[in-house]
Chains A and B, each alone.
Chain A
Amino acid sequence: MSFIKNYIEQQMLNRRKLLLLSAYGLCGAAFGASVRPGRAAPASRDIKVAWSYRDRTNPYWNGIVSGGEAFVESLGWSSGDLINLINGGSSEKSLSDVKSLLSRYGNKTALAIDPNDMPNCRPVVEAVSQAGAYVSTIWNKTDDLHPWDFGDNYVSHMTWSDVQPSEQTARVLFDAMGGKGGVVHLGGIASNNPAIERLKGLKNALKSYPNIELLAVQAADWDTQKANQVMSGFLTRYGDAIKGVHCASDTMAYGVIEALRAEGTENIPVVSYDGNAQAVQMVAQGKLLATVFTNPHWAGGITASLAYHAAIGSFKPSKEPKEHREFYGPAMVVTTKDAKDFKAKYIDSNPQYNWNDFWALAKGPIQYDT
């Protein structure tokens, strides 16, 4: 039962860290108060920081949470002070969690959230602004909903445009295929926005490679086992005509690579998306050609930071330009050339981010198709 022992040890370590950090935090607060005499130190300890997201079985959300925890630790709190609301893929649960949180902490709430699906964003934001609390969202928001319509309470929205990076991985793949041959695409849940955009990126790249043929597109629901089965179906249907595989996520690429391995054909190039630790490792080993890293650690920290700093009044969201309220998050293509350096910098450790530099990695204002 060593995992229980590890857990206890970790908790004790966290407690020690908390003591040290809170001592440090008190000094910092005292210092801050002394150098800015005109301004009282905000009663930051009253604010509760919460992250609401889907689940903990996915490396992406684990990255988000690690960022959120790094942020609260930077305040001198313990990582346990970050409130985790896990909706398990249910918008109803997401909303009711938020309402419970608000009824407990009211306007002392700073919430970072992925509302699970687009329609759920509005009720969440409305509940938060009615309570006078602060919310920053990522990923899911309808196009007609904007932070600036809610004064200061809807602090910001960050999302990622996956079209461009997905097009880049497709180009890397096509070049590796020598610019000709058949390619298959394994997509995410068909109605998910990232699934749509990542396929669109592939199709954009196809335009400049006339000798590449897109043989088939099939949803494998972001799932490793399903991707494994879909890929074996593709192998039966197209056999040797498949010269490359474009996957909409790392988790599906793992299933594809194992399906190829079962056939003893491991030399077919595969590209994916998300930049999970295992995928980056595979890129470094040459088992995967490229993936895209969206920096969930930074996203998790900065989204919490935005809500928190709006709540304590460090900045006034309504005074910020629109590109500071709605913006794209970072995306980096990782290829076999840079995977080793990338892994050392972003996977084996996390860079020390300045959580007060809110828009350091932002990639410009969100564009809407009109």
Chain B
Amino acid sequence: MVPHISAETIRRWVPLFVLLGLVLFFTALNPHFFSVRNFARIAISATPALMVAVGVTFVILMGSIDLSMEGTIAVAAVMFALILNRLGGSVVGVGGLAIPGALVVGAALGAINGLIHVKLKIPSFMASLSLGFVGVGLSLLITGGDRILIDDPVFRSLLTVRFGGFPLMTYVALFCLVVAWFIQANTTIGRNFYAIGGGEELARGSGLNVGRLRIIAFVIAGVFYALGAILAVARLGIAETETGRNFMFVSITSVVVGGTALAGGSGGVWNTLIGVLIVNVIGNGMVVIGLPDYFQDGMLGLLVISAVYLSMDRRAFSFVK
């Protein structure tokens, strides 16, 4: 007898099948695709985006949205580079303070974002989008439009030193992902994010301080954006306002493609990992098989639509807004 597989189970595993399907597809067209060296390349391009996408996952789980990442990344990257260069230019020794420094910057911007959203009762979409613009402007003011170069070989070893074929930054990102998973699955705060996303009125009625939890989610998101900023700087050795560019599109797309519902309450950081890999495998694979880039954007667009469609049981909705 064929065991019964529910639609829900299929829905949960679809993103992973899509990822495997893409890998098979690209490998069939160009066997070079399936090699450790290429997977390392995909990993390098995916790690900063993974951190950012994991950050925004927490916010999306609550049914809110955060679009401030480009500004937050720009400010965190630039502040990281400034502190590092001011304190001797090496992460070994005092210069290492640049890392907590950048994380504090990310947390602070996240806190402001959350406070504006909760205290002024401005929809998260608008509050975070506006704050993102403020961040871009701020980083421009700090740098005057210049690029800051990071030449510290110890810091750049995140990219240049490899274990098992993958650069150090991959392992750093995986470690942070596990921390995020721990927050999501094993802390009260993490469980409460799901509660808010599943039904805010119910969560409020059960005595949860929803406002406080929302602010915490934005702070956690800000810290992960800062991690993404540090890894993005490690990847290119350049910190500038442009460092944040394109992360909004990539991270939101990844979260959605990974199967986390925009309405909140379902999904999580492992979905996000799959989503980030899907987006980066497409980016890499399109070049590897030699398709022009407009196909790439078009294919991503189609994937987002199908992912959003599959992420929830649409029959439950009578209308969408």
Q: Measuring CB to CB, which residues of chain A are less than 8 angstroms from any residue of chain B? A: 3, 7, 56-59, 61-62, 216, 218-219, 223-226, 228-230, 232-237, 239, 254-255, 258-259, 261-264, 278
Contacts and interface: CB of A to CB of B under 8 A. Distances in A.
A225 B245 contact: yes
Contact of A236 (B33, B159, B245): B33
A219 B35 contact: no
A3 B146 CA distance: 13
Interface string B274-287: 00000010011111
Contact of A232 (B45, B140, B147, B289): B45
Query: Which of B37, B41, B159, B245: most chain A Cβ within 10 A?
Result: B41
Interface residues of B, number: 43
Contacts of A216: 290
A263 B44 CA distance: 11
B42 to A, nearest CB: 8
- Most chain B Cβ neighbours within 10 Å, of A7, A237, A255, A261: A237
A258 B235 contact: yes
B22 to A, nearest CB: 14
Contacts of B293: 218-219
B121 interface: no
B190 interface: no
B242 A224 contact: yes
A340 B154 CA distance: 28
B9 to A, nearest CB: 34
Contact of B288 (A233, A254, A263): A233
Contacts of B146: 59, 62
14 contacts: A7-B141, A56-B140, A57-B140, A58-B145, A225-B232, A228-B235, A228-B236, A229-B283, A232-B42, A234-B287, A236-B30, A255-B236, A262-B235, A264-B160
Interface string B38-59: 1001101100000000000000
A264 B30 CA distance: 23
Given A57-B145, A223-B245, A225-B246, 14 more contacts: A3-B82, A56-B140, A56-B144, A57-B140, A61-B145, A225-B232, A225-B235, A228-B236, A230-B287, A233-B285, A233-B286, A237-B288, A254-B238, A258-B159
A273 B167 CA distance: 30
B72 interface: no
A59 B238 CA distance: 14
B145 A62 contact: yes
B284 A236 contact: yes
Nearest to A276: B147
B23 to A, nearest CB: 13
B149 interface: yes
Contact of B35 (A3, A234, A236, A262): A236
Nearest to A219: B293
A229 B238 contact: no
Contacts of A233: 41, 283-288
